[in-house]
């Protein structure tokens, strides 16, 4: 058993090559110098030639495990496997780090029934994404890696400058802000992956999941923006904007994430519910950029994934 | 016959993705039609269409959305510089009186977004860009209201709640249209752009759906949530199912079995925007003279 697991985890030559490309690209992107852009692009082209649809879908599956655990624990006090969603597979299976070491204690005390409904809907949809990807990948599906929902948010709070710690399960506002951390990243991750997928049916499914992540992001951002408008001294928009800035800093661009607030556009004073570029096209992130965010700047592991992702892209 | 096509369509749509999912997928499909309308066979988009054909199809839809939101937010539609040299006329549309600064901010944001999409697609298409077709924002909504059972007339510009219902007509359709188009695009850059615009339409759709539900919670006797769901039911009739009834527990419009957003063929989208139930249609509804470009007639 242990020997088999070891065999499974042993990187193949091609994955080592991909890993090295990804790790080089990440350091290049961190440096951020335009002189290095050519090298980085060469890395992308090379990575595209090596990465299979299975690798991409497994990368997505890791992110869906994270989202599904977050929403499911927040709404039900149980982990996804306790609700019957499979988490076994290739790689190293890990548990979830939850506050007080108790999922039940992490149920969010929702004060607003509609917000609870939104959370329950989203939880169900993220579990369906996990199940869909697992079914699609079959025997190739990766196991759920270790997921950290405590130290990750605390570290992010420090990095974003929103405090020494952050408990997204403490109340419904914190929960919505915790959701904000994930959804726009999901959009950019699937958007970036779209160009890497080779099979039309896989592309269609990934595009459909991308749209659902964008629905979630639009839902969360609309609710947070409305709460801030109703109570401007709450600082909700400012906190969300700090999270966006932290994500943009972590992915090395500093310019691909729009926070919440009132901005002047060519027509008048406008909201920023949509997170998109100057052409109002949603941003896209490479797998390396997404990893940098979910690892909170770590290499190979950290942040939400203390033991790293499972699969070839990690 | 329709039932047969519906069943074949389900099997076909389920076959998507990786074959290994087959048995489980098929089972969950048959059991899982509760929350969403079933998905009949999409009539395939004609073979041999180019990326420019697809992007021009999208441009027609963006002209429609931009005219709707710009007129609602500002009272003015697209300027001549953004509509092409042989632009059709726009009927209807006027500035909405928004009761709060926040609602006004939403309208300005979405109007600017759709304007940006028009400009982006026109620039990407260059000299191949189609001009704005004739657009009807008055009779179209009246006909839609009658067909949906909302009433004999409907003016989405009369107040902000009506505006949200009017916006609801478009956004989920935009998501399904771009989703369906993704598989037709051959160039990776075009695919990336289309996927990014689809995501923005989904942000908009979620925003509109969330605001309609919030309005209904604040004022349960108001008709707007019910109106939106009548619109959704009509879209399902015209556009091959692909709808999720709106409620506080169903903000996202997606297949209830796997939480993957719906997609529509260009043919299904045309049926909706032309308000055409069946048969060959080349115009109607929001496009009284039809769309411009090569994809503009329904197959059946």
Q: What pLDDT digit, counting tens, does each position of A252-270 carry?
A: 999 999 999 999 999 999 9
- pLDDT the model gives residue B279: 86
Q: CB distance from A73 to chain B under 8 Å?
A: no
Q: What is the ipTM of this complex?
A: 0.86
Mean pLDDT of chain B: 87
Which chain B residues are closer than 8 Å to A268 by Cβ? 73-74, 104-105, 108
Q: How distant is the Cα of A275 from the closest Cα of chain B, in angstroms? A: 8
- pLDDT the model gives residue A50: 82
Distance CA(A251)–CA(A292), nearest Å, equals: 6
B261 vs A114, A211, A276: nearest CB: A211
Q: Which two tokens stand for residue A31?
A: 């440096």
Name the band, by pLDDT with cuts 50, 70 and 90, for residue B9. Answer: very low
Q: CB distance from B217 to chain A under 8 Å?
A: yes
- pLDDT the model gives residue A243: 97
- For chain A positions 285-314, those within 8 Å of chain B (CB to CB) are none
Distance CA(A65)–CA(A235), nearest Å, equals: 30
Q: Residue B70 in contact with residue B115, Cβ under 8 Å?
A: yes
Select the highest-mean-pLDDT range: A37-41, B30-34, B188-192: B188-192
Q: Is the pLDDT of residue B43 over 90?
A: no
Q: What is the DSSP string of A38-72?
A: HHHHHHHHHHHHH--HHHHHHHHHHHHHHHHHHHH
Q: What is the mean pLDDT of residues B184-198?
A: 95
Q: What is the 3-state secondary structure (H, E, C) of chain B?
A: CHHHHHHHHHHHHHCCCCHHHHHHHHHHHHHCCCCECCCCCCCCCCCCCCHHHHHHHHHHHHHHHHHHHHHHHHCCCCCHHHCCCCCCCEECCCCCCCCCHHHHHHHHHHHHHHHHHHHHHHHHHHHHCCCCCCEECCHHHHHHHHHHCCCCCCCCCCCHHHHHHHHHHHHHHHHHHHHHHHCCCCCHHHHHHHHHHHHHHHHHHHHHHHHHHHHHHHCCCCCHHHHHHHHHHHHHHHCCCCCECCECCECCCCCCCCCCCCCCCHHHHHHHHCCCCCCCCCCECCECCCCCCCCCCCCC
Greatest CA separation for chain B: 54
Name the band, by pLDDT with cuts 50, 70 and 90, for residue B47. Answer: low
Which chain B residues are closer than 8 Å to A208 by Cβ? 179, 254-255, 260-263
- pLDDT the model gives residue B45: 57
Express as a percent the part of chain A with pLDDT over 90. 84
Name the band, by pLDDT with cuts 50, 70 and 90, for residue A19. Answer: very low
Q: How distant is the Cα of A134 from the closest Cα of chain B, in angstroms? A: 9
Q: What pLDDT digit, counting tens, does each position of B79-120 carry?
A: 999 999 999 999 999 999 999 999 999 999 999 999 999 999
Which chain A residues are closer than 8 Å to B211 by Cβ? 222
Q: What pLDDT digit, counting tens, does each position of B62-79 carry?
A: 999 999 999 999 999 999
Which chain B residues are closer than 8 Å to A199 by Cβ? 18
Q: How distant is the Cα of B273 from the closest Cα of chain A, in angstroms? A: 21
Residue of A nearest to B113 (CA): A280
Neighbours of B46 (CB within 10 A): 13
- pLDDT the model gives residue A33: 32
Q: Residue A148 in contact with residue A304, Cβ under 8 Å?
A: yes
Distance CA(A152)–CA(B25), nearest Å, equals: 35
Q: Is the pLDDT of residue B13 over 70?
A: no
- pLDDT the model gives residue A21: 35
Name the band, by pLDDT with cuts 50, 70 and 90, for residue A178. Answer: very high
- Parallel, antiparallel or unpaired: strands B90-91 and A269-270: unpaired
Q: What is the mean pLDDT of residues B148-167?
A: 97
For B188, half-sphere exposure in the C-beta direction (CA atoms, 13 angstrom radius) is 10
The residue with greater pLDDT, B19 or A243, is A243
Residue of B nearest to A270 (CA): B105
For the entire predicted model, the pTM comes to 0.86
Q: Is the pLDDT of residue B26 over 50?
A: no
Q: Tell me the Cα Rg of chain A.
A: 19
Q: Which two tokens stand for residue A27?
A: 């350091």
Dihedral sign for Cα atoms in the order B71, B243, B205, A290: negative
The residue with greater pLDDT, B27 or A76, is A76
Which chain A residues are closer than 8 Å to B192 by Cβ? 191, 194-195, 284
A270 vs B108, B203, B262: nearest CB: B108
Name the band, by pLDDT with cuts 50, 70 and 90, for residue B48. Answer: confident
Q: Is the pLDDT of residue B285 over 60?
A: yes
Dihedral sign for Cα atoms in the order B206, B208, B214, B217: negative
Q: Is the pLDDT of residue B267 over 80?
A: yes
Please indicate whether, in this complex, the C-beta atoms of A135 and B254 are within 8 angstroms of each other.
Answer: no
């Amino acid at each position: 058993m242990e020997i088999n697991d070891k065999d499974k985890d042993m990187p193949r030559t091609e994955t080592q090559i991909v890993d090295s490309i990804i790790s080089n690209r990440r350091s290049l992107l961190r440096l951020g110098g335009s002189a290095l852009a050519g090298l980085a692009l060469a890395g992308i082209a090379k990575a595209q030639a090596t990465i299979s649809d299975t690798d991409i879908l497994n990368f997505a599956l890791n992110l869906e495990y994270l989202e599904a655990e977050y929403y499911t624990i927040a709404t039900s006090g149980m982990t996804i496997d306790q609700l019957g969603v499979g988490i076994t597979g290739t790689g190293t299976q890990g548990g979830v780090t939850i506050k007080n070491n108790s999922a039940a204690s992490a149920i969010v005390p929702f004060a607003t029934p509609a917000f609870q409904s939104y959370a329950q809907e989203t939880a169900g949809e993220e579990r369906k994404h996990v199940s869909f990807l697992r079914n699609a990948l079959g025997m190739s599906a990766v196991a759920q890696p270790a997921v950290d929902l405590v130290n990750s948010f605390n570290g992010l709070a420090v990095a974003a400058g929103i405090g020494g710690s952050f408990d997204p399960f403490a109340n419904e506002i914190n929960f919505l802000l915790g959701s904000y951390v994930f959804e726009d990243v999901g959009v950019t991750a699937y958007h970036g992956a779209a160009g890497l997928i080779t099979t039309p049916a896989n592309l269609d499914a990934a595009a459909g999941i991308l749209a659902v992540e964008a629905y979630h992001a639009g839902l969360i951002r609309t609710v947070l923006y409305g709460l801030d408008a109703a109570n401007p001294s709450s600082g909700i928009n400012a906190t969300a904007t700090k999270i966006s800035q932290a994500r943009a800093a972590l992915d090395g661009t500093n310019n691909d994430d729009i926070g919440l607030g009132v901005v002047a556009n060519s027509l008048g004073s406008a909201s920023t519910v949509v997170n998109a570029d100057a052409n109002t096209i949603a941003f896209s992130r490479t797998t390396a950029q997404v990893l940098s965010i979910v690892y909170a700047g770590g290499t190979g592991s950290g942040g939400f994934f203390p033991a790293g992702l499972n699969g070839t892209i990690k | 016959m329709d039932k047969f096509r519906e069943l074949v369509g389900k099997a076909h749509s389920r076959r998507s993705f990786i074959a290994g999912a087959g048995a489980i997928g098929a089972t969950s499909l048959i059991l899982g039609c509760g929350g969403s309308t079933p998905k009949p066979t999409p009539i395939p988009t004609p073979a041999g269409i180019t990326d420019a054909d697809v992007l021009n199809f999208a441009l027609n839809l963006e002209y429609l959305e931009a005219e709707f939101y710009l007129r609602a937010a500002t009272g003015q539609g697209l300027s001549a510089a953004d509509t092409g040299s042989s632009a059709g006329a726009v009927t209807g549309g006027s500035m909405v009186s928004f009761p709060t600064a926040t609602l006004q901010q939403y309208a300005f944001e979405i109007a600017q977004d759709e304007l940006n999409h028009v400009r982006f697609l026109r620039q990407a298409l260059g000299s191949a860009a189609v001009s704005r077709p004739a657009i009807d924002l008055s009779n179209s909504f009246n006909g839609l209201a009658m067909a949906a059972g909302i009433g004999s007339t409907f003016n989405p510009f009369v107040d902000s709640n009506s505006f949200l219902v009017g916006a609801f007509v478009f956004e989920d359709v935009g998501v399904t249209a771009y989703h369906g188009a993704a598989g037709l695009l051959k160039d990776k850059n075009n695919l990336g752009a289309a996927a990014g615009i689809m995501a923005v339409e989904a942000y908009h759709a979620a925003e509109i759906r969330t605001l309609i539900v919030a309005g209904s919670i604040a004022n349960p006797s108001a008709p707007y949530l019910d109106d939106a769901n009548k619109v959704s039911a009509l879209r399902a009739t015209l556009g091959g199912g692909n709808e999720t009834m709106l409620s506080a527990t169903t903000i996202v419009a997606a297949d209830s079995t796997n939480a993957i957003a719906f997609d529509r063929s260009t043919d299904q989208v045309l049926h909706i925007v032309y308000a055409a139930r069946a048969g060959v249609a080349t115009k109607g509804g929001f496009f009284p003279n039809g769309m411009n470009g090569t994809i503009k007639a329904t197959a059946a």
